[in-house]
Amino acid sequence: MTAHDPNLPTHPDPDDLDAWFASAPPMPTAAAERIAGRRKLGVIVGGSLNRGLEVKLDRDTDMEALAVGSYVVVQGRHKDFFCMITDIMLETANPAIRSDPPDISDPFLAEVYGGTAAYGVLHVAPVLVIDRQEGAPRPVKTVPAHFTAVQTATAEDVNRIFGEEDAEHFNIGAPLELEHTQVNLDLRRLVERSVGVFGKSGTGKSFLTRMVLAGIIKNDVAVNLIFDMHNDYGWSARDERGTQVKGLRQLFGAGKVAIFTLDAEATRRRGVSPDYEVVIPYSAIEPEDLAMLKTTLDLSDSMIDAAYELSRHWGKGWIGELIHADAETLKELKEEIAASPASVQALKRRVQRFQRYAFLTEQAETDSAKRILEHIERGVHVVLEFGRYGSDLSAYILVANYLTRRIHSMYVERMEKALGDSALEPPQLLITIEEAHKFLDPQIARQTIFGIIARELRKYNVTLLVVDQRPSGIDEEVMSQIGTRITALLDNERDIAAVLTGVSGASGLREVLARLDTKQQALILGHAVPMPVVVQTRTYDTDFYRALGVQDEPETPTRSKPSDPRSRRLR
């Protein structure tokens, strides 16, 4: 512990703070220059590490210029405490003022009351501390003293925390009120654990996700498998203003991004030739895949039990057998399996819906999951477009679950063969799924492949990027394993509570999250950033393309030809 200087008072005189700070040890030149660029807002008058700090604003501080989610720096004697504004309040020294407000049209009364009897208060949450001698950001384990000065954060302050954009750091946007600086995600740490992109409908989750994926592809920190439910990521899409924006294939080319599709006709209508059309045989579908469809297909427990019985009885071709089974065959089953005829009949009616899916066939010559894995092992990012099936949640869940289960199994096998030799390990894989709560519902998350991946972290080099507007529908254990959370506006209390589960200082961040703008603002916290931060996200436009090294040239649609070998059907 640092010895107290007997020449300094233990409690500074609030009327003579400048003299007290002047007597502190001299600051390094860089720190002095940063402080010179800050603007004093007020002083600490109370609070705690757990509840946050209270700041009494100076009388000349413009409260309307302050915003929840922006940063301030509490300038301690030896340390700078970085804090986020979590609330702004109006207080009075005399309760009588509330019932009998003064006439502030009188300039003299306005001057007397302003900043003294009536004043502003900030609630700020400490998020990081920097020792001026060491210079390295560290977790906050203490608080500054009473009457410590609170100042606006400068661009240089923020840059000290988030560093510079480089081969492993990607600019996602700028902090509030500091548009001339930037927040850089640590991409290596981002993909080490699962990632969540959350926000209510219409807040730009798809654009946020596309931006993060573009950074990962540009910097080659992982390979992506994207289940593109609404055809938002592969080729061009429209933003909220109706403007066409580039997809990942257009940004990075066919050498880095491959488009697989379940609906080749829809993909070609959008002006691009798919690399492969995915087809899945009935024999590849297992009872576990049906269990994932319990809600969307309205399957009862007895129907799922019947599926397991039929799988044991008929083997891999059980779904095809059930679809084509006549009344006599079903009658014979009554004596051969431990499932009620009513459950079997009901299950038959449900699985007959699969006949509407052209991507499901009786036979398949090539393993679609294996073909996707071949691209991934070459470092080619895969976007699987669903075309007309994107609006069918059952089709999306069925395909995403089937392919992920197979690919994860192959990854586990390859990782075990590598036996710790990193040179033989497959590349880090990030799997993107939308409507994630359908895969990670508390009732099924412990059994599904997505729940397993989320809990395994990077044990087998596979993590998830979950995109959802209802994080409260995701299992709490899975949410606790999501390392980085990028959250746009949420207004449902349960969803806000789910996003902030296990986060230090959640009470203050709750107010920040509920007051984000509806567009281009997000709260980022967790593994990929050193402290929680509200960002004004970058605009996904021509400037963004150029920053990726892509020239914004007129689109030249790549239309498939009958002889194009890349448009072959994958079977």
Cβ–Cβ under 8 Å, residues 460 and 502: no
Burial of 478 (0-12, 13-18, 19+ CB in 10 A): buried
* pLDDT digits 0-9 by tens, 500-546: 987 877 777 888 888 899 889 999 999 999 999 999 999 998 899 99
User: Which whole number is the average pLDDT over 246-268?
Assistant: 92
pLDDT at 95: 83
CA distance 102 to 118: 10
Give counts: helices (H), strands (E), the chain.
21, 24
User: Which whole number is the average pLDDT over 297-310?
Assistant: 92
**R_g (Cα) of the chain, nearest Å:** 29
Which residue reads 């604003």 in tokens? 57
pLDDT at 519: 87
Q: Which CATH class is domain 185-279+364-550?
A: alpha beta
User: Which whole number is the average pLDDT over 536-561?
Assistant: 71
> Whole-model pTM?
0.83
From first CA to last CA, the distance across the chain in angstroms is 70
On the question of pLDDT at 183 being above 70, the answer is yes
pLDDT at 445: 75
- What are the structural domain ranges in the chain? 14-153, 185-279+364-550, 283-355
pLDDT at 498: 92
